[in-house]
Structure 1
Amino acid sequence: MDSAVLTVTELSVQLKHTLDAHFSQVIVQGEISGYKQHVSGHHYFSLKDDKNVIDGVCWKGTSLKMVLKDGMQVLCQGRVSVYGARSKYQLLVSHIQEQGKGVLLEQLERLKAKLQLEGVFSQKRSLPLFPQHLGILTSPTGAVIQDMLDRCKARWPCRITVFPIQVQGGRVTEDVLQGLRFFHALCEEERPEILIIARGGGSIEDLWGFQEEILVRGVASSLIPTVSAIGHETDTTLIDYAADLRAPTPTAAIELVLPNRQELLKRLAGAGQRIQNYGDTFLELCTIKYKNLYQRYHGFDRYPQEPLMQDLDNLWDKICYGIKRGLEKKRTEFLRIEAKIHQKWGDTRWADTQISVWKDRLVHNIKTQIRQKEEALHWMAHRLKASSYKKILARGFTLAQTESGSLLTSALLVNSGQSIKLVWHDGVRTGRLD
């Protein structure tokens, strides 16, 4: 080995001097991708054509005549240099001139418009509320799948089948299509209820495999509801429009498709308490109405109405017993359902809807019972009023009583010199018999 031994830094410095000397002033045409303006004010991006990519840097203070963004076709003037810390060559840009819209974005817009016109993006299905089996198409290694599994375990533990795919490069489209075929080929008992296609963020080139027309159509025609979780929130791919649901990130996809079991338990407990409180309130209102009716008609003297008053009391006892028994029955049924949910999460698919329906049905039944009982009470009160002895007294009859109030129903019950009380419809007089 005759050549002098160089350190990495020495080699990097020599390369930098060589590039600075031979590429001190170049003009490069390309499409901006992965643009980002740093908090320092510097602009970082990539310039690309259909085969290669070079990093570009535009320092703070450089005069720019346009707002840079991904997809712009530009002419960049500057010099080529080396960033030694990463052993990468890059273009230090001093002037930028726009050349038109990026070829890739133009191609995507045309394809998007074509598919939209065909109605490929219009068929959206609702996802099951409580899925027990998820299928995830993503890289089996890395932070994405681990974060998704952790989030699933924390929210709603369920079965997960991972189909490994390449998330970048030339095999992305075929891998995802193969995964879709795999899941659809499973028998109904083994087939996931939801499919999630996931990967982390990246440039338009990194995500290009998820833009292919054949894949977009494959996702749209999936018999299993699909969720697209590609990239970060600002990243958009065509399968986002084809999927039944688009998630801003892979972990957000788990939060969107899986319920929070702790929150569900709180809602169940709250619903049970509200039902109990609702029943108690109705019972209390019924009690108040009964007391008002009772006080309204209690002013009648006892004698002719005693059987009716007793009937009224018996009727009230039946109302209270019926309502309490109905509430207790519903409470027992609720506790049974709640226990079933605790034992097996798989049976909660209909829980939210069932509780709402059950509550509405219970409220309707209680209202119907109270309305019927009120009608019966009003009928009894009307009958009580119609049979009042005061109506008979108003026609000219008189009621004879002893001083103590006992009813005198026969002349044989009255002795000479005895004090009696005579009751008319408009007053009472007392006297002594001769």
Structure 2
Amino acid sequence: MKRLLYITVLLPLLLVSCISELLNSPPVIEEIILETEGDFTPGSDIRVTAIVADEDGDQLEYLWETQGGIIAEPNQISTSWELSTLAEPLSYESISLTVSDGKEQVTRTRTIQVIEGLVMSGYTCYTGTTIPVPDVEVSISKFSAVSDKNGYYIIQHLKEGFEQVVATKSGFERFESMVYVDNPRSNYNIAMLSHSETRRITGYVKTIDNFTFDGLKVVLLNPDGSESGLSGLTDQNGYYEIDIVPMGFRDLMVRSEGSQNIFLNDTVIYNYSIFDMEQSFDARIKIKRTIIEDSYMSGIDLWDYNGSTAEGFYVLKKGEKLEMNEFFTVPAEAEKAMLYIDSYVVGGCNLIGRLPSHRVWIMNSEYENIGGLSWGGEGNNFKAEVSWYLSDSPSFLNVYGKAIKLSLEIYEGSS
């Protein structure tokens, strides 16, 4: 009798459970919504949420899954999906949501297309120059690149908007800047500052006859020969300073600055090896012209010469002359006139330490020689720079107020 009662009670319970299973309504994923608008590039952060319904009001469990990135909270109805930075442009990436009510589960997938995005590239260089700094790690958003031996870097897959650019390298100060990325291919150069990889250079600039000029500009040249932003001006003693000059073999150029009555040929360039903590570099400058008050005469086009001037010099053999194209007049009120000549001896001369003699002839408008000067030179066997000064005495050299023409000659009787 007792066994019959157990059977009678158990059968209704099993029947209720089976009916409940048959009557369960599974959850329904009505939609997966991408709350983040716009195009999606590799590394994009996408906010996703789902609209889910369940007629039975069961407690639901959620599981987000993807092969194309990282999901922040995979068990929430809303979450963040970070696309993989390695996602290929023009490829398709999917995210799936599985919802379970404990009895049944359903799955729905949303697919997006990945676009290429914007590109930023540029060079990492020493501050104020285009001298490259290699092996700099440049980071923009979630992407990074290391500059090559020429300082070049390129970063892809960026989105339009403000981004922070960070550049780091051991021995250099950390670089940070906000940049607005909007072009398909933007260019942004990064100035790297280092006190351990640069040096201060100082020195004096004087003419070959020991004159100094206030305001001459000493400029560090870039690798392509253009002027960098690193420079110094000479004071009244000819002294200059330039800070944060990158170590290595560098070219310095001396030139005039402003309206000062000095003309320096821009080929006045000196090459130095810069490695010590602080170094001094003195320069002798060439002034290749005649100074007359606040005007000057200079340039290859003023001289009648058919040879090559590629090296910046006229090449004369002994006995040959170099004559000006036209007559010019020295103003009568001029204080003085100066002619600076660069002399370069090819093959040396017989007397070590002494240069061949030079001769300057002065002729009037009737082509009559009205005077001349000749001189030798002391110093380096290969190169010297000498000067000739006109004056009021002797009287036959008084050329002020007269139309004259000059000719230069390497004297036959020189060594």
TM-score, normalisation: structure 1: 0.23
TM-score, normalisation: structure 2: 0.24
